[in-house]
Chain A
Amino acid sequence: MKRHLFTLIICIILFASCKKNIEIYPLSNVTTATFYKNTTDIQTALIGCYNGLQKPLLEEWKMSELRSDNAIMGNAASKSVPNRDLSDLDLFIPNTSHQGIYNFWINTYANIRNVNVLLNSLNVNYSKSTGSITSDTSAVLISSKDKKELSAEAAFIRAYHYFNLVRQFGGVFLVHEPLSPFDATSLNRETADEIYKLIIADLSYAIANGPAFKYASIPAATLGRVNSWTAKALLAKVYLTQNRKADAIPLLTDIISNSGYGLVATYSDVFSISNEMNREILFAIRYKAGGIGLGSPFPNSFAPELSGTAVIIGDGGGFNTPSSDLNLTYAATDLRKGISIGEYGNTKVLYPKKMISPVSIVNDAENDWIVMRFADVVLMLAEAQGNTTASLALINQTRKRAGLTDLLPAAVSTVALFEKELANERRLEFTFENMRWYDLMRYNKTMTTITAEQTLKNHYSAVYVAHYGKYPSPRPTLAQIQAYITTDRLLLPIPQREIDNNTTLKIPQNPGY
């Protein structure tokens, strides 16, 4: 009997020590609360923010190229839900619950959160009242140089995201620190000006604190990271978008004279996968093939539908189909046409060829996605300066590389002609680089003779017979389609979910939806 009691006691003692049993912490993941401690941690978190740039890009072409006159919804006959969603964007009739718009929104804000958590850990904060960034001491073990550089990069990424949001949605929610779901319901939309204030503050901070090596002396291992020049180029574009041309000019000339960045010899060199991060590339969202989960999905989504292995292994999605009017805009001698636009099969289906390279696994291509390159800086300066001889020389730099003859002053004798030539040049130079839409929107402010609305109406009449006229009946008439484009609808709708989800505040929807 005693023996049994003994066993019992042992059991009880053993059990009492089991308390640890329920104090379990993750074995496969780091937790946020304990992570940000030193330079390596911040660096790791920053790499995560760079990675976070990839996801919104999956949707961005739908908002930029597809809505512009560059691309059409290739599979006109399809009534499948994802295809119909794309058609709705193409025709300016997206519903407020549009999946693509929501994905763009949440994936952008997800990376803004990543940046905010990182900057917050370094105690680098944005003050809404002063419109500037302050950097105070934090608990993280980091040198001030590292802190400056790493936080500058993070601030740039945040500015890049907000710049896309404000151009697509107008005044959005201003989130500049990690936000709890309980506090979020008391936050309403800000004005576009407030968003621009943050963007300019972030970019100014990135210019002041980011590394400023000339291109040739950038340490090889850091190629692809954001630097002071990148921030200057983006800030110049922000100023230009706000029609603050005078503010943009010094930044652009600074880059042209002092950065060491420049145009590469041929147009195809810009996009070649054996020439990544060349001296023309100020900022690219990078991808890497090889089955490491970092490959680009765009070649497979942009190759023609049903093309089998003819264009790329794993077939294509047929998305981002070049419009026939874009195809016809190229001069016969323009070298860029054959690089930017491909033709497939008997019926010569058009597809964007620029960023397609072979893959061995579907959606695993090498091509970086170029966001800003030197040619953009050159043409932005021309846009900022207006119709001057110097501007003409700038435009002729890219024309020349494209194998075209120089534009002569006579060809740009009026403002309208100059604006037309400049807009045209940008369209052909940056085809499918997610620029056309933002450019059109900007021209509404920076140019006097070009409007986004009219450009799109012309685009519809150019392709109606061959394209929209073939939509399944009951199909809209050309006049109906043209009427879809209103000034209000140039902005996307705020995702319905944000409006429905807040029962405390009334979130205003953009007009027109």
Chain B
Amino acid sequence: MYLLLFALLIYSGSTFAQKIEVKGKVVDQSTGEPLGGVSIITNKIKGALLTKQDGTFALSLDKGASTLVFTYVGYVPQSVSASTSTVLNILLVPNTLSQEEVVVIGYGTQKKSSLTGAVVKYKNDRMDESPLSRLDQALQGRIAGLTVQNISSEAGAAPKINIRGISSINAGSSPLVVVDGQPIPDGLAFLNMADVESVEVLKDAASAAIYGSRGSGGVILVTTKKGTADKPKYVLKYSVGEKKDYKRYDIMTTGEYIGLLFQEMAKRAQDSTVLPANNTVADGDRASYVVENLFRGGQSTDWQGESLRPATFQNVMLSVAGGKKDVRYFLSTGYQNDEGMMYKSNYEKLNIRTRVDLDLSKKVKLSLNVNPSYSKRSAPSENFTNFWRFPTWLPVYHNAATAAFVNTNPQYAGIRAGDYAHPRHFSGLSYAGSMPDGTNWTSGATTVNPSGSAQQNPKSAVIRTDISNNEYRLQSSADLNIILLPGLTFKTLASTYLNYTNGLDFSRRSANRDGDNNRGEFTNNVFIDLLSENTLNYVKSVGKSDFNILAGFTSQKTTISRDQTAAIDFPSDEIRTLNSAAQLDKLGTFGTKNQIGLLSYLGRLNYAYDDKYLLSASFRADGSSYFGPGNKWGTFPSISLGWVASKEKFLSNIDWLSNLKFRGSYGVSGNNRITDFAFLDLMYGANYSLGSGTGTSSPGLVNSPTIISNPAITWESTYQSNFGLDMSLFSGKLGITLDAYKSKTDKLLLQQSAMAFTGVPQFWNNIGSLRNTGIEIELTTRNIQTKSFKWSTSANISQNKNSIIELGTEAYLLNQGERTEVYRNKVGNPLVQYFGFKTDGVWTSQEQINKAIAGGLTSSLSNVFVPGGLKIVDVNGDNKIDNEDRTDLGNPYPDFTWGITNNFSFKGFDASFSFQGVQGGKLINGDPNYNESRRTIKVYNENRWVSAKFPGDGKTPFSTLGYNWMLTDYVIEDASYVSLRDVNIGYTIPADFMKKLKVNSLRFYLSAQNLYFKTAKGYRGLNPEGRFTNGAYSSVLVDGYQRGSFPIPKTVLIGIDINF
């Protein structure tokens, strides 16, 4: 259509032959600076005209419609039509979607225009102004296909991160993180965000294959800033703000809950189906009411308030960059203090970076990079769950009345007001007091326990326990570039990464239980990673052909040692060095040392013909110490092709299409991230005491009780194909990148279940395969671009589907989670599906049950036919409710994830709003497993069943009745959400004014996170992103379980950014 119009314009233009005058000025759209030397092409004049130095031009053209095309390097070409004499003011738009943009790829860089793989570049554009302490969190919602999930909101906690879904089961599936060429496991944690120049994500296997062995989870390349030959430029940034919980649980106080029980009792009394003997409030509940009402005067403890606090977030950054012709430098230092919302939760980080680039000669270049950093993390000893599920009748500290009361038990005669109160203090006593219905109640001589909890009150445990961890890191590298021949460069990089961690978990006397000894656990871990990379790169152009050939080898060796010493009985809680401990505790004491080696050969050919036809082929062979002799080597080839269609003649004249490129790739990447020495059976210490008296410990060894090795274990490989297209339309106003992929992971490194009578429950095997398919779309638009007001948008959306193709000989695996909930991994289905019973509200009456039973319904399960309990659906319709009725109840994988950022600027003001969300995907809410949550969280008690006559909403079961909730869909909830993840509003003081102060620029900003967070209907928790399960159950096959979700943090900070 446009093509046709264009042709018509050209045609109509040539039919008249009178002169018109066209003149005007060309300026840069963003800065307003005049542009000289801009070429102007029209259909009326042969050859090109250039604008003058001041940007002006004047043309004399034949009358009639003419098209003027203004082109200038680094700007989007603009065409204007003129039919009469006119003055044109041309605003040329800098080409940020420029084909000239350079992208970092594995072992090199490439022009974006000749890229053939799925690589996304994310520039650090005020990323460092977000109130976040980690780079990975800042990437959330920014890049299609990269999912970042904040599974914990604790300060400094690592999010769950993956690229294009889960490609592995028992081997690690997280992306490989490479910082300035060196793979660093915790690369996204320690970096100072202000040092980051850009982040590139290699999504498809073809791009990642050059990282061979470790590329199957995708690769994240981080490039840090460097200096340019210029006078020193200083940047100082400071921001400070406050973090608060977005939402808390609505918790009933003991008074409210026991009040509810009495109301329910009164209701049941009106119901003839309820036996009076069964219509009581339990003594324990009455006793708890007495404590809160009588001894505490109706005061209740807000345990959430006891654990949470408004926390501060602070960020300081200072850098200087500059250089002379031969020496360029970048120095920076950054400090962050991220206080957690929970007491004692804190993350502090100090970073220093020095980067020097030296041109030793015309042919030899050296660059040095030294990055020491320090971080300190402290954590509360109790998690948030342990707070909110504690009963509100229990005070944190005894008051005079509660102390006097518990003193009546001789065991607790010594307790005084002000001492910590614990549930056990209130056990084994007689209670008496008035009840919510006005009656008086006494337990008489019978003793009552208002709480059966053996736990200490959580606040006392947190205050008396200190958990801290110090990490000292030093990343440094030196690389030497030598131009051997024209076009041939040799590069050698030596890089080291040292990480020393020391920690102390210290619990004071009686911190966890009365009479407990004080105890310290001292940890010392050393991680040393040495990398040598050597590459030869040859660049050559012959005619229209451009070649870029890379060959290299790398060698990496990692040494890890971990030591932990546990000691007890320190004479003072405040002297915490090992020398003062009276006794060591072998159970917490160990030391291990391990080495990991990787050896690789790699090669790549990039070929471009006329910048139109592109080809890239790469190959990598990796030898890994993770595998046994004969199985160490894996090969990872890839090929990708590109076609820049917009450069073809038949498309080059279309003015609204500035770029159209098709890409296709296929590649193999590997995975070796399993436990060490899976190919060997190891023996572990198992001592035993023999001899007279209490015996003497003798050293013993046994075989591993957890897994049997497999000498044949080898690489897991992911084969992925990717099809993509890049488009730039309407003078770059709209940019579209579209990718579709399909991958298959074969020879999964699987911890397969062994028959338990072999003595070991699992063995290593390469078996089974997985599939991931997906679509990713990224859009960038420049909606309004005027001199004073600009509005641009970038948006991304991605979808990934996975399914199991094969699991060896198994049709499916069933895995039990922390609370007996079941996960099914079935061939042909998504990797994890929740597996359990469907329910249809509750059984409202015995009559209803009797009718169903009379209709032939039976069950071999217990607690199925209980009024007030969940009504399980007979899914297979055999009139029998049994395990065969279990069915798929949804999965944890979202339908799609998305992010959208709008950037505005108006004169000195700028603003950016990033929304981000996840649609679809379910989670298992683990909280209903706990009686305390069922009783205290209001949402579980509203409209619940009381009796046949008062069935509530017919959907909410009574807390103690019927079938185990955890095995049904009653606990499966929608995990979708929409969040206003990031807001950044700034004001830059006008430059003219600042020049007088010799300041280049000064900007104030306000940055906020999670100002708005909307969760799905039916979600009963606090944070749909939260995932928390017992360590033993943290497996990819047991996914989507959430217990005691920690609140979402809402952070607001203000900052200043000075450049001088």
List the interface of chain A (C-beta within 8 A of B): 1, 4-5, 7-8, 11-12, 15, 18-19, 21-33, 35, 44-52, 75, 77-81, 93, 97, 102, 105-107, 109-114, 116-117, 172-173, 175, 179-181, 184-185, 187, 220-225, 273, 276-277, 286-294, 305-310, 313-315, 345-347, 360-362, 364, 366, 472-474, 495, 497-498, 500-504
Q: How far, in Å, is B1019 (CB) from chain A's closest CB?
A: 24
Q: Which residues of A contact B688 (CB under 8 A)?
A: 47-48, 50-51, 286, 294
Known contacts A21-B599, A47-B700, A184-B755; A78/B452 CB under 8 A: yes
Known contacts A32-B682, A181-B708, A221-B691; A360/B517 CB under 8 A: yes
Contact A50 B700 (CB under 8 A): yes
| CB contact between B594 and one of A8, A28, A474 (< 8 Å): that residue | A28
Q: Answer whether residue B705 sits at the interface, using C-beta atoms and an 8 A cutoff.
A: yes
| CB contact between A472 and one of B684, B686, B960 (< 8 Å): that residue | B960
Contact A288 B697 (CB under 8 A): yes
Q: Answer whether residue B839 sits at the interface, using C-beta atoms and an 8 A cutoff.
A: no
Q: In the complex, which of the residues B691, B761, B819 has the most CB atoms of chain A within 10 Å of its own CB atom?
A: B691
List the interface of chain B (C-beta within 8 A of A): 278, 364, 409, 411-412, 423-424, 427-429, 447, 449, 452, 454, 482, 484, 490, 492, 513-517, 519, 532, 534, 553, 555-557, 568-569, 583-587, 591-599, 623-625, 629, 632, 676-677, 680-684, 686-703, 705, 708, 752-761, 763, 809-811, 814, 816, 819-820, 862-863, 866, 929, 931, 960
Whole-angstrom CA separation of A220 from B703 in the bound complex: 29
Whole-angstrom CA separation of A224 from B687 in the bound complex: 14
Q: Which residues of A contact B757 (CB under 8 A)?
A: 105, 109, 172-173, 175, 179, 184, 187, 498
Known contacts A223-B691, A308-B515; A181/B758 CB under 8 A: yes
Contact B515 A309 (CB under 8 A): yes
Contact B516 A313 (CB under 8 A): yes
Contact B583 A291 (CB under 8 A): yes
| CB contact between B810 and one of A4, A288, A503 (< 8 Å): that residue | A503
| CB contact between A22 and one of B597, B758, B816 (< 8 Å): that residue | B597
Contact B553 A15 (CB under 8 A): yes
Whole-angstrom CA separation of A27 from B514 in the bound complex: 41
| CB contact between B686 and one of A23, A47, A179, A310 (< 8 Å): that residue | A47
Contact A347 B428 (CB under 8 A): yes
- The closest CB in chain A to the CB of B536 belongs to A8
| CB contact between A220 and one of B691, B814, B863 (< 8 Å): that residue | B691
Whole-angstrom CA separation of A497 from B592 in the bound complex: 33
Contact B484 A1 (CB under 8 A): yes
| CB contact between B694 and one of A117, A288, A305 (< 8 Å): that residue | A288
Q: How far, in Å, is B283 (CB) from chain A's closest CB?
A: 11
| CB contact between A288 and one of B553, B695, B820 (< 8 Å): that residue | B695
| CB contact between B708 and one of A44, A93, A180, A502 (< 8 Å): that residue | A180
Q: Which residues of A contact B819 (CB under 8 A)?
A: 81
14 A-B pairs with CB atoms under 8 Å apart are A1-B484, A8-B484, A21-B597, A21-B625, A27-B593, A107-B705, A109-B759, A110-B759, A181-B760, A287-B689, A291-B586, A294-B586, A360-B568, A497-B756
Known contacts A18-B599, A306-B452; A181/B752 CB under 8 A: yes
- The closest CB in chain B to the CB of A80 belongs to B931
Contact B694 A273 (CB under 8 A): yes
Contact A315 B454 (CB under 8 A): yes
Q: How far, in Å, is A204 (CB) from chain B's closest CB?
A: 24
Contact B599 A19 (CB under 8 A): yes
Q: How far, in Å, is B506 (CB) from chain A's closest CB?
A: 15
- The closest CB in chain B to the CB of A496 belongs to B814
Q: Which residues of A contact B695 (CB under 8 A)?
A: 223-224, 276-277, 286, 288
Contact A26 B676 (CB under 8 A): yes
Q: Which residues of B contact A50 (CB under 8 A)?
A: 688, 690, 700
Main secondary structure on A side of the interface with B: loop
Contact B756 A24 (CB under 8 A): no
Contact B753 A501 (CB under 8 A): yes
Contact A113 B703 (CB under 8 A): yes
Contact A46 B700 (CB under 8 A): yes
- The closest CB in chain B to the CB of A224 belongs to B690
Q: How far, in Å, is A217 (CB) from chain B's closest CB?
A: 13
Q: Which residues of B contact A313 (CB under 8 A)?
A: 513, 515-517
Whole-angstrom CA separation of A93 from B862 in the bound complex: 10
Contact A49 B428 (CB under 8 A): no
Whole-angstrom CA separation of A173 from B447 in the bound complex: 50
Contact A474 B690 (CB under 8 A): no
Known contacts A113-B759, A181-B763, A291-B583; A223/B692 CB under 8 A: yes
Known contacts A51-B700, A288-B695, A292-B687; A15/B534 CB under 8 A: yes
Whole-angstrom CA separation of A12 from B556 in the bound complex: 15
Whole-angstrom CA separation of A291 from B687 in the bound complex: 13
Contact B758 A184 (CB under 8 A): yes
Whole-angstrom CA separation of A47 from B683 in the bound complex: 13
Q: How far, in Å, is A486 (CB) from chain B's closest CB?
A: 15
- The closest CB in chain B to the CB of A317 belongs to B454
Q: Which residues of A contact B863 (CB under 8 A)?
A: 474
Beyond contacts A22-B624, A360-B569: 4 other A-B pairs, Cβ-Cβ < 8 A, are A77-B452, A106-B759, A175-B757, A501-B753
Q: Which residues of A contact B597 (CB under 8 A)?
A: 21-24
Known contacts A314-B515, A473-B278; A305/B703 CB under 8 A: no
Q: In the complex, which of the residues A11, A15, A24, A52 has the most CB atoms of chain B within 10 Å of its own CB atom?
A: A24
| CB contact between B587 and one of A97, A293, A360 (< 8 Å): that residue | A293
Q: Which residues of B contact A347 (CB under 8 A)?
A: 428, 447
Contact B598 A22 (CB under 8 A): yes
Q: How far, in Å, is A482 (CB) from chain B's closest CB?
A: 17
Whole-angstrom CA separation of A18 from B866 in the bound complex: 69
Contact A346 B447 (CB under 8 A): yes
Q: Which residues of A contact B681 (CB under 8 A)?
A: 31-33
Contact A114 B702 (CB under 8 A): yes
- The closest CB in chain B to the CB of A102 belongs to B756
Known contacts A47-B687, A48-B702, A288-B697; A346/B428 CB under 8 A: yes
Contact B599 A32 (CB under 8 A): no
Contact B698 A47 (CB under 8 A): yes
Q: How far, in Å, is A342 (CB) from chain B's closest CB?
A: 15
Q: In the complex, which of the residues B513, B683, B809 has the most CB atoms of chain A within 10 Å of its own CB atom?
A: B683
Contact A294 B697 (CB under 8 A): yes
Contact A51 B702 (CB under 8 A): yes
Q: Which residues of A contact B514 (CB under 8 A)?
A: 308-309, 315
Q: Which residues of A contact B676 (CB under 8 A)?
A: 26
Whole-angstrom CA separation of A309 from B243 in the bound complex: 40
Whole-angstrom CA separation of A184 from B694 in the bound complex: 40
- The closest CB in chain A to the CB of B445 belongs to A346
Q: Which residues of A contact B587 (CB under 8 A)?
A: 291, 293, 361, 364
| CB contact between B568 and one of A46, A291, A310 (< 8 Å): that residue | A291
Q: Which residues of A contact B569 (CB under 8 A)?
A: 360
Contact B513 A362 (CB under 8 A): yes
Q: Which residues of B contact A225 (CB under 8 A)?
A: 690
Contact B517 A112 (CB under 8 A): no
- The closest CB in chain A to the CB of B568 belongs to A361
Whole-angstrom CA separation of A277 from B696 in the bound complex: 13
Contact B703 A44 (CB under 8 A): no
Known contacts A276-B693, A276-B694, A503-B810; A22/B599 CB under 8 A: yes
- The closest CB in chain B to the CB of A345 belongs to B428
Q: Which residues of A contact B625 (CB under 8 A)?
A: 21-24
Whole-angstrom CA separation of A239 from B863 in the bound complex: 43
Known contacts A33-B681, A288-B689, A294-B689; A44/B454 CB under 8 A: no
Q: Which residues of B contact A308 (CB under 8 A)?
A: 411-412, 424, 513-515
Q: Which residues of B contact A293 (CB under 8 A)?
A: 585-587, 687
Whole-angstrom CA separation of A179 from B452 in the bound complex: 46
Whole-angstrom CA separation of A79 from B629 in the bound complex: 52
Known contacts A29-B682, A308-B514; A114/B690 CB under 8 A: no
Contact A345 B411 (CB under 8 A): yes
- The closest CB in chain A to the CB of B710 belongs to A181
Q: Which residues of A contact B428 (CB under 8 A)?
A: 306, 345-347
Known contacts A276-B695, A293-B587; A222/B513 CB under 8 A: no
